[in-house]
């Protein structure tokens, strides 16, 4: 009589209905219901660890949202979706890491070190925006002072660049106008003196009527000044027009540069500007550095709570869950080994059957060949 085949599967008890609602927490901790059914004492710890993982993922997600609001200079409410997405991603990553823990200390350490490094990097990248969020009123006040000072410096710089040019052009225009005014006064003066010499004996040098020597002399001076004025006036007007055009362009450029630089500085409130403002606050108030280091350290510690829980639990209570999980994986490998061996047996069987079919075909072909040859020989003799 053949013995009944021994079942290779273990009877796993089903989880109670009251435990269904807590499976999500243990799932986040990397737990498997098939393993928990054999080590129910580990369920409470894994559920607590899952809650911690979810809580810390929410904290990290909020930190990502705060950092994104600083990077893009938008309200936190507009980037909450990014925090939710990061929470989901970090939960999946943590589940993968904690599910990979086994019974080997070296392997567990190899898993714990990258996760700890990730926590430190997250603290450095996301901790600074969180600190800026905490000290936001002081940072805004510092930014207002620094922006005002930089705007004043921008105005002073623009004025110092354009005003000397404008002042020099105005001085050149004034000099040209003064020269023309001098020539015009000279024409008026000598015209008046020439008329005085010719028509008013009382005011002439000779006190004689008629245009004499002095009359003609003053007339020549007036004519010379008039010719000089008329010859220089077109060129002077052209020069003055060009200078006034340059002055208008410089004044427009000065106003535009001041407006653009002031507007740019007014909107300079990104993450880098806030970091500079925070550095200025640290220089003014050294005690702020202690709070910043505390926040960064707290961020790292909070993110490492679940990892520390897992490692300490493995070191103190042993790896009961991991040992059962490893045994079940070995049982699954046995199933895989059985399928592999069955496949090998089938491959050998199919190979031999194919070889046998090939041998039969060869014999059949030889018999048919001999028969046909005999028939041909009989026909030839007939």
CA 90 to chain centre: 19
Q: What is the pLDDT of residue 18?
A: 47
172 Cβ neighbours under 8 A, 6+ residues apart: 239, 243
* Alpha-carbon radius of gyration of the chain: 50
Flag whether pLDDT at 3 surpasses 50.
Answer: no
Q: What is the pLDDT of residue 271?
A: 63
122 Cβ neighbours under 8 A, 6+ residues apart: 60, 63, 299, 303
CA distance 292 to 65: 19
What tokens appear for 21 in the block? 């609602």
With tokens 């993982």, the residue in question is 53
Is the separation of the CB atoms in 71 and 271 below 8 Å?
Answer: yes
Q: What is the pLDDT of residues 141-189, one digit of tens each?
A: 877 777 777 778 878 888 888 888 888 888 888 888 888 888 788 878 7
Q: What is the pLDDT of residues 66-79, one digit of tens each?
A: 888 877 778 888 88
Q: What is the pLDDT of residue 76?
A: 83
Read off the pTM: 0.58
- Closest-CA residue to 127 (of 308, 267, 294, 254): 294
Q: How many percent of the chain have pLDDT more than 90?
A: 5
With tokens 């008026």, the residue in question is 188
Flag whether pLDDT at 91 surpasses 50.
Answer: yes
What tokens appear for 187 in the block? 């024409």
Is the separation of the CB atoms in 61 and 93 below 8 Å?
Answer: no
Q: What is the pLDDT of residue 199?
A: 63
Q: What is the pLDDT of residue 197?
A: 66
373 Cβ neighbours under 8 A, 6+ residues apart: none
Per-residue pLDDT band for 6 (boundaries 50, 70, 90) equals very low
CA distances from residue 248 to 22, 172, 224, 255, 380 in whole angstroms, order as listed: 77, 15, 35, 11, 125
CA distances from residue 225 to 55, 172, 205, 230, 248 in whole angstroms, order as listed: 96, 21, 22, 9, 32
Flag whether pLDDT at 213 surpasses 90.
Answer: no
With tokens 């994104």, the residue in question is 68
Q: What DSSP character marks residue 77? A: G
Per-residue pLDDT band for 84 (boundaries 50, 70, 90) equals very high
Flag whether pLDDT at 227 surpasses 90.
Answer: no
The residue among 3 and 320 whose pLDDT is bigger is 320
What tokens appear for 56 in the block? 């810390």
- With 0-12 / 13-18 / 19 or more C-beta atoms within 10 angstroms meaning exposed / middle / buried, residue 57 is buried
Q: What is the pLDDT of residues 262-321, one digit of tens each?
A: 777 666 666 667 777 777 777 887 888 888 888 888 888 888 888 888 888 888 877 788
Mean pLDDT over 191-212 rounds to: 65
The overall average pLDDT reported for the chain is: 80
Flag whether pLDDT at 17 surpasses 50.
Answer: no
What tokens appear for 257 in the block? 């540069």
Q: What is the pLDDT of residues 240-263, one digit of tens each?
A: 888 888 888 888 888 888 788 777
């Amino acid at each position: 009589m053949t013995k009944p085949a021994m079942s290779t599967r273990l009877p796993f008890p089903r989880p109670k209905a009251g435990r269904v609602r807590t499976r999500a927490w243990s799932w986040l901790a990397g737990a498997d219901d098939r393993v928990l059914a054999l080590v129910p004492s580990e369920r409470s710890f894994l559920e607590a660890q899952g809650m911690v993982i979810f809580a810390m993922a929410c904290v990290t997600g909020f930190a990502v949202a705060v950092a994104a609001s600083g990077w893009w200079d938008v309200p936190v409410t507009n980037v909450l979706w990014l925090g939710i997405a990061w929470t989901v991603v970090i939960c999946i990553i943590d589940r993968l890491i904690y599910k990979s823990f086994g019974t080997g200390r070296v392997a567990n350490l190899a898993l714990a070190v990258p996760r700890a490094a990730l926590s430190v990097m997250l603290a450095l990248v996301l901790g600074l925006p969180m600190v800026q969020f905490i000290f936001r009123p002081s940072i805004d006040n510092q930014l207002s002072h620094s922006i005002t000072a930089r705007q004043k410096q921008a105005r002073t710089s623009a004025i110092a660049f354009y005003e000397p040019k404008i002042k020099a052009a105005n001085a050149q225009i004034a000099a040209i106008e003064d020269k023309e005014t001098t020539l015009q006064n000279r024409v008026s003066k000598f015209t008046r003196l020439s008329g005085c010499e010719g028509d008013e004996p009382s005011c002439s040098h000779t006190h004689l009527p008629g245009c004499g020597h002095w009359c003609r002399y003053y007339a020549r001076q007036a004519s010379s000044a008039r010719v000089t004025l008329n010859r220089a006036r077109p060129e002077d007007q052209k020069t003055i027009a060009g200078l006034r055009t340059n002055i208008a362009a410089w004044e427009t450029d000065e106003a535009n540069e001041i407006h653009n630089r002031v507007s740019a500085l007014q909107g300079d409130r990104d993450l880098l500007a806030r970091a500079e403002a925070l550095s200025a606050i640290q220089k003014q108030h050294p005690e702020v550095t202690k709070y910043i280091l505390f926040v960064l350290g707290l961020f790292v510690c909070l993110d490492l709570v679940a990892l520390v829980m897992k490692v300490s639990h493995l070191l103190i209570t042993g790896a009961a869950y991991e040992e059962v999980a490893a045994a079940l994986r070995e049982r699954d490998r046995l199933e895989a080994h059985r399928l592999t061996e069955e496949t090998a047996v089938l491959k050998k069987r199919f190979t031999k059957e194919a070889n046998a079919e090939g041998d039969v075909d060869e014999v059949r072909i030889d018999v048919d060949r001999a028969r046909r040859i005999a028939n041909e020989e009989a026909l030839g003799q007939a």
